[in-house]
Amino acid sequence: MASKSIDYLRSLVRELAKLPDEIERVEFKCNQDDPERIAKYISGLSNAAALDENPHGYLVWGIDNNTHEIVGTKFQYRKARKGNEELEAWLARMITPRINFRFYEIPMEVDDAGNQKQVVLLEIPCAETEPTKYGSTGYIRVGSNLKPLVEYKVKEAELWKRFDTMPYELRLARTNATDDEVIESLNFSKYYELLELPIPRSRENILQNFFDEKFIRRNDIGNWNITNLGVLMIGKNLKQFEGLLKRSVRVIQYKGNDRYHGIQEREFVGGYAYSHEEIVQYIMAIIPQEEILDGTIRRKVYRFPELPIRELLANIMIHQALDQKGTNPMVEIFDNRVEFSNAGAPLVAIDRIVDTVPVSRNENMAGFMHKCGICEERGSGYDKIILSTGQNELLAPRIENQNNQFTKVILFAKVPFEMSTKEDRIRTCYMQACLAYVKFESIGNADIRKVFSLDSNNTYRVSRIIKDTIEAGLIKPVDPQTAPRYMKYIPYWA
């Protein structure tokens, strides 16, 4: 992030000086230059900021501890040393995990003698995934006192709870944005369009709506911090935010069934809530299609139905591991399949994907996307996908957990029965049994024949599929005593 302006820093110092007493994430000093003491304060203020659910703590030289008057300081962090090592380098080495603390030298008011007061501000990021430590010891502020964290078990437990409950969505994509910069960064017109609401006449009402949605938060000088949630949902350009560079959706189309020849690639940098529809329409425009004669009317038939594409696209947006380094959410289009991939392992067991209780990796994103009518919070997405692929006589999608790091779902085009594999047939039979069971039904030979577009002369082929699926331990008869031609089946877990 770019360095903060001198005007912002002066405003921040003045606002901190107005505090009636030192709060636990802010400490005032005049000329304290003991490196070890400074290191302990970095730990304590970082942890205190996390407890306060605030992005930063501050150590300020040049403000009187009792009166909060801006008096200036003689402390010069650039000249300070610990042994033969520069102070800033030593602190960076001694603080774990590494955090991006920053020193600022701020010229303030000129006093009556014509001397300009100098303030030094140390901006300290809040702890995010574990307590910030100096060496092997974490510290915490208790009132105005600095104490080892281990001595305060309740605060330590509360701190760890904060790490568990502060989702990546609500961390900050940008700090200290003005009202105008918020409006420039977030697409307010798309926000109201998605919610089918009129655009308010006042900017204040727009900002209040964004605040209520957790898209923005007030900072220490009255400006705004923009959350990852705000950018990911309605940001105009994810590429403008360093922490979200790999979160834009990429769509790549290939010639044939391999990755040797790419035809075209497009990256969608807008917020997911409004770019979802644009991406769906783009995919439907480029996937293979053919015209068929339906009576006297010609109509287009797509190789892949729209509903699974719509649902799987929403899944890679909502269920990605936002804090995991790696590739963008990606859609890859081949002649015979479409692959959807995202960072993060599947959230539930793959064989229970249809009937599972809904689990969301990013609940705030899922909530807003549901509010916009893009996805279902109740977990019916895969039910719809299996229903649609079955109705279109397609194999059930294949779901892969790749090294517990990525999830890939493969949507297949229709293939002749003879070209499907044993694994394809078993997976499809099992998923249809799961779908039937959640509707309080069961499957039989005729149901599976319909999915594979086989007539009654191919009953024996479907019987083979059902037998293979039973031997794989995935389905079982409802009543083993029923005559074979009337036998019905349910999932193994039913």
pLDDT value for 1: 40
CB 374 within 8 A of CB 273: yes
CB 252 within 8 A of CB 333: yes
pLDDT tens digits, residue range 464-482?
999 999 999 999 999 988 8
CB 398 within 8 A of CB 205: no
Question: Which regions of 363-467 does DSSP assign to beta strands (E)?
Answer: 398-402, 406-412
| Across 183-199, average pLDDT | 95
Domains of the chain with CATH codes: 6-166 (3.30.950), 172-236 (1.10.10), 249-491 (3.30.565.60)
Cα separation, 60 vs 39, whole angstroms? 14
Burial class of residue 218 (count of CB atoms within 10 Å of its CB; 0-12, 13-18, 19+): exposed
Residue bearing the bigger pLDDT, 1 or 69: 69
Distance, C-alpha 222 to centroid of its chain: 27
pLDDT value for 295: 66
Least confident of 140-149, 235-244, 377-386: 377-386
CB 228 within 8 A of CB 167: no
* pLDDT of 176 higher than 70: yes
**Bridge partners for 63 per DSSP:** 70
**What are residue 22's phi and psi, to 5 degrees?**
-65, 125
pLDDT value for 230: 97
Tell me, what amino acid is at 237? Answer: N
CB atoms inside a 10 Å sphere around CB 54? 18
Mean predicted lDDT score pLDDT of the chain: 90
pLDDT tens digits, residue range 214-231?
999 988 778 899 999 999
Least confident of 90-94, 207-211, 260-264, 292-296: 292-296
CB atoms inside a 10 Å sphere around CB 402? 11
pLDDT value for 356: 78
**Bridge partners for 254 per DSSP:** 262
- Per DSSP, the residues of 271-320 read -HHHHHHHHHHHHHHHS-EEEEEETTEEEEEESS-HHHHHHHHHHHHHSS
pLDDT value for 293: 65
Question: Which regions of 185-256 does DSSP assign to beta strands (E)?
Answer: 216-218, 224-227, 249-254
Q: How confident is the model at residue 430 (pLDDT cuts 50, 70, 90)?
A: very high
Tokens at residue 235, please? 């940001």
Burial class of residue 165 (count of CB atoms within 10 Å of its CB; 0-12, 13-18, 19+): exposed
- Alpha-carbon distances, residue 221 vs 206, 209, 225, 256 (angstroms): 20, 20, 11, 56
pLDDT value for 28: 92
Question: Which regions of 94-161 does DSSP assign to beta strands (E)?
Answer: 95-96, 102-110, 116-125, 133-134, 137-142, 145-148
pLDDT value for 2: 45
- Per DSSP, the residues of 144-204 read TEEEEGGG-HHHHHHHHHHHHH--GGGSEEEEEE-HHHHHHHB-HHHHHHHTT-PPPSSHH
Q: In 3D, which of 268, 280, 285 has the Cα closest to residue 232? A: 268
Three-state secondary structure of 362-374: CHHHHHHHHHCCC
pLDDT value for 294: 65
Cβ-Cβ contacts under 8 Å for 342 (sequence gap 6 or more): 315, 316, 317, 319, 320, 321, 329, 330, 406, 407
| Across 193-213, average pLDDT | 94
pLDDT value for 359: 72
* pLDDT of 378 higher than 70: no
* pLDDT of 37 higher than 60: yes
